[in-house]
Chains A and B, each alone.
Chain A
Amino acid sequence: MATQVVISLCLPMFTPRQEVPRKDFCPPLRKTQTPGRLTWQGEVLGVQTPGFTAAVRLGAELLRNWYDHCAAWCGPVYLSSPCDDSLAGIFQAAGIQDIREYYYWDDQQRGVCLDKLLEDLEKAPERSVVVLSASAHYPTGADLSHNQWAVITELIMRRRLFPFLLLPPQALCYGNVERAAWPVHYCASQGMELLCAQSFSHCFGLYGEAVGHLLCVLKQNSLLLSVQSQAATIVKSLWAQPSAGGANIVATVLSNPAHVVEWKEEVKHIVERCMLIRELLRERLRLLGAPGCWDRLTQQSGLYCNTGLNEDQVEFLSQRRHVYLLPSGCLNVSAINGRNLDYIAESIHRALTTSL
């Protein structure tokens, strides 16, 4: 039941067809027509996993074992530059050693550089897997626009690449669950097959309960049972079954309309706080006369933000000001609050203006 409701978060045009005995697998979903909504043919498989990493790992194992089986595929897998530094290790642990990067964040532009991204993907060998963040890109917070998605998916289809979407902090960007999942709908509506790793850590605050999900969109419904059975075989020797506690909470909330309303309000509260902090930080930096343009703070969304500070400046902040950022210059905006905002703004200002 958990996976049924979770799939509907990404692909709301689906409704469950039947109950199945195994709670950790989703029954085949039937497509319902909604005027004006994106529609597509195909089948969806959902697998509950103990957390987001586990979902990525399962997807990686599925690909390594079964993607382009006759050609004994073993990569390459393309990750954005920068990305979550644990991703490469997960694909490698699944047996895929050929990990490459595609251009994503541009320091100069302080955003996504689409041209260079497309250039890199254009050169990718056919059958490469491309890992794309559906929303709230970690660690930059910089997301692709709808137009950019259209261009990228066109390239992916033309070059016969395979998309592996990441959706860890669904809804934490805009407070809107559907909006965050738009890229998943869109790819599916273009008739693409894809994998999508989801996490409920952030949007339910259930970090410690390891609630994750792997979505698999397939073209042919005849493949559903075989892919599902192979996923089960992989899971059996990794963790056998996923943990129930957190998934029960998520399923209970999502399958009760009153709870869903309450949940969406609470998520909105998180998002609004993050947006407020971004606004306030930007304003403080402007007032202090901190060099550079800080609009990106409010243009990016979600929990993380790329300050654009370089390594020396990041070190200055930790050594001299006791303000700790990731080495990439990214920070979690929710760690900023009324009591430390001034100190942090002042520290960033000093990092930028002190000659190092």
Chain B
Amino acid sequence: MSIFGEVPQAPPVAVFKLSADFREDSHPQKVNLGVGAYRTDECLPWVLPVVKKVEKLIVEDSSLNHEYLPILGLPEFRSASSKVALGDDCAAIKDNRVGGVQALGGTGALRIGAEFLRRWYNGVNNTATPVYVSAPTWENHNSVFADAGFKDIRPYHYWDAANRGLDLAGLLDDLEKAPEHSIFVLHACAHNPTGTDPTQEEWKKIAEIMKRRNLFVFFDSAYQGFASGSLDKDAWAIRYFVSEGFELFVAQSFSKNFGLYNERVGNLTIVAQDGENLTRILSQMEKIVRTTWSNPPSQGARIVSKTLNCPELFAEWKGNVKTMADRVLLMRDQLKGKLQALNTPGTWEHITQQIGMFSFTGLNPKQVEFMIKERHVYLMASGRINMCGLTSSNIDYVAQSIHDAVTKVQ
């Protein structure tokens, strides 16, 4: 009798199951709009040219070896990552109160940040501190904070399905009513899965309440540069909060904007009140990392670090990022245009108003099922599509499929 005899089968991750179903589908016109990665117009993964170039430089560099990185990671990676999020002229950086922890992707950064907060925020080991995540949000947010030990994870109003936009009133109301010191997970830009971000004025309102009510700001920044094509524009919210004097965390991912998905390159940026606080925080972060992965992998971090720290490579990278962002913007424009040309019922403005990789189409579960079963166009049950899955070859078919779904299925 096995000691694991009681282990139940866990449900598969929805997005991976979707991709698996897509792979098994033999329909010639099948389209995968569930994939969470960038695709070229040929529907292939894209290794950024600057990444290819830097990989070669790293391989040729005989001064490099495979010794362990420090527990907190490659120093030049950490500082460059924090700088790209907070801006070159960030006062907090100049005041030496900004630190970074290299992590295994955005997930790793979130987890280390969550573990720290559970141990040291709002008391010691206070697992009762409420953690608020947007409704809807990336589904792994719930698991990360729950597995870090938080017992009370709540949704905050975010998506207004009726108006296909941000439910600002609901969001602000939740902020006013949340217990003091609650943790709020905010998407820095290109909200996943809705693609709907607050405007600058709306961010200011959010910040005002959070400051007044002593709520903790935890930014999830997975799409900097990818959303608008501009690194600075996409980091506006983070930089605003920092300029307002908040102590906060930013979980950064370089999976999307560097196309380094499988190298697991992330950074937890910490903005502390002063350098002395920062030192103590980092010492505790080290202890947490030590029992999780001990020393992070160097390959991805070296690529990002070399790129961010060299002006020519940095410029080239920004160009590559803009290439990806521009293709997404083009697909948004074209999809909206085609739906309008087909006179598809409903309004489709949200497709170009939303930003980043994802779009909440507004299709209901029955319509989604139609899309998958009858048209072999795969998307998430929530109606979320990944714009990167659209290409000039399949966009007509997808637009027609959406039109059919909306007109035939209620």
Contacts and interface: CB of A to CB of B under 8 A. Distances in A.
A206 B69 CA distance: 11
A92 B23 CA distance: 41
Contact of B300 (A227, A237, A245): A245
A116 B104 CA distance: 41
Given A230-B7, A239-B111, A50 B296 contact: yes
A352 B262 CA distance: 52
Contact of A21 (B13, B20, B67): B20
A68 B288 CA distance: 27
Given A206-B66, A207-B66, A241-B264, A229 B12 contact: yes
A245 B65 CA distance: 14
Given A207-B67, A236-B13, A241-B262, A223 B5 contact: yes
Given A54-B292, A230-B7, A237 B298 contact: no
B5 A93 contact: no
Interface in B1-41: 1-13, 16, 20, 23
B contact patch SS: loop
Contact of A50 (B11, B12, B148, B264): B264
Interface in A205-250: 205-210, 218-220, 223, 225-227, 229-230, 232-234, 236-246
B291 A210 contact: no
20 contacts: A53-B290, A53-B292, A53-B293, A57-B292, A67-B4, A90-B291, A208-B69, A209-B66, A218-B4, A220-B5, A232-B10, A233-B10, A236-B143, A237-B147, A238-B104, A238-B107, A240-B105, A240-B108, A240-B264, A241-B262
A242 B104 CA distance: 8
A174 interface: no
Interface string A62-86: 0000111110000000000000001
Interface of B: 1-13, 16, 20, 23, 65-69, 104-105, 107-108, 111, 140, 143-144, 146-148, 262-264, 287-288, 290-300
Contact of B7 (A51, A227, A246): A227
A66 B3 CA distance: 9
Contacts of A315: none
B292 A209 contact: no
A162 interface: yes
B2 A210 contact: no
A226 B293 contact: no
Contacts of B66: 205-209, 246
Contacts of B7: 66, 69, 223, 226-227, 230
B262 A209 contact: no
A60 to B, nearest CB: 9
A54 B2 contact: no
Contacts of A218: 2, 4
Contacts of B9: 225-226, 229
A66 B9 CA distance: 12
Given A53-B292, A210-B293, A243-B263, A162 B299 contact: no
Contacts of B292: 53-54, 57, 93, 238-239
B105 A246 contact: no
A193 interface: yes
A205 B293 CA distance: 17
A89 interface: yes
A220 to B, nearest CB: 5
A119 B105 CA distance: 45
A14 interface: no
Contact of B111 (A89, A237, A243, A246): A237
Given A90-B291, A210-B296, A237-B107, 16 more contacts: A21-B20, A50-B297, A51-B293, A51-B297, A52-B294, A54-B294, A67-B3, A208-B66, A208-B297, A218-B2, A220-B2, A229-B10, A230-B8, A232-B10, A237-B111, A240-B264
